[in-house]
Chains A and B, each alone.
Chain A
Amino acid sequence: MAAPTPRVRMPATAKAGEVVEVKTLISHEMESGNRKDKDGKVIPRKIINKFTAKFNGKELMSVDWHAAIAANPYQSFFVKVPETGTFTFEWLDDDGAVYKAEQKVTVG
């Protein structure tokens, strides 16, 4: 499978203290570990098990994802923009890989 591509959609500018919606999506098959291949062997689990959102290095929210999260996981939520800064988003894979995305938001 191609390397997972994270996508983040949120405004690049905001008023100080404004609440904005963040929509994130990452391409990932989220193999649940419940499926079997055509020889009857269990396909091993490989999912993204943690999603974290940070602002200027401070954690805002983290989510533990389990096998029931649909393929190409979507996550939307709301953040407050207190000042100009960078939002970072991290997806942690079962195999230890970390996928990252960043978004600068300017207050003006």
Chain B
Amino acid sequence: MTKTLRGLSRRLNRREMVVGLATGGAAVCIAPMAAFATPAQVEEEVKKATGGKPLAEGKIKLDLPSIAENGLVVPLGFEVESPMTDKDYVKTLTFYAEGNPNPILAAFHFTPLLPKASGQIRIRLAGTQNIIAVAEMSDGKLFTAKKEVKVTIGGCGG
């Protein structure tokens, strides 16, 4: 009984919120300007960046929370397996998001002067979505990794 009641009030809240957003003109997330990227669009972007070459799984370790309570600040840690020598290093590492207004999150350009291609940034996520990383090695080989992040409160600008 309490469960259904709680569910009902939650639904009401959500409806109120949607109405409020639509009338208040503060509809940041559903504004036409902020048309969201789609998985297909991300695929297209990746293809553009890589020239359609095949991507292999592995080498990239993504450190992302499975559930992010606040989409405004989501820690994104990464490490790409590589000896980082003049002959064999990670050239670029690009992060894509399937459900953000902008399909690209960040693009790293490494040099062999770095000891390892590893670090952390903090990103904004508009909602639950997949994060895709694509690494290009100095020999032209491409690797990819993917992780889903569930976002409870979107960070699309509200």
Contacts and interface: CB of A to CB of B under 8 A. Distances in A.
B116 A63 contact: no
A60 B111 CA distance: 6
A69 B104 CA distance: 10
A91 interface: no
Interface in B91-131: 97, 100-102, 104-111, 113-116, 118-125
B123 A35 contact: no
Please report whether the interface of chain B is mostly helix, strand, loop or mixed according to DSSP.
loop
B58 to A, nearest CB: 21
Given A34-B31, A75-B121, A78-B114, A61 B74 contact: no
Contact of A69 (B28, B106, B113, B120): B106
Interface in A39-72: 39-40, 42, 55, 58-71
Contact of B28 (A36, A62, A70, A76): A36
Nearest to A75: B121
B102 A61 contact: no
B157 A32 contact: yes
Contacts of B124: 32, 67-70
A79 B115 contact: yes
B102 A66 contact: yes
Contacts of A60: 111, 113-114
Given A34-B34, A64-B106, A73 B121 contact: yes
A19 B119 CA distance: 13
A34 B33 contact: yes
Interface in B122-158: 122-125, 155-157
Interface of B: 25-28, 31, 33-34, 72-74, 97, 100-102, 104-111, 113-116, 118-125, 155-157
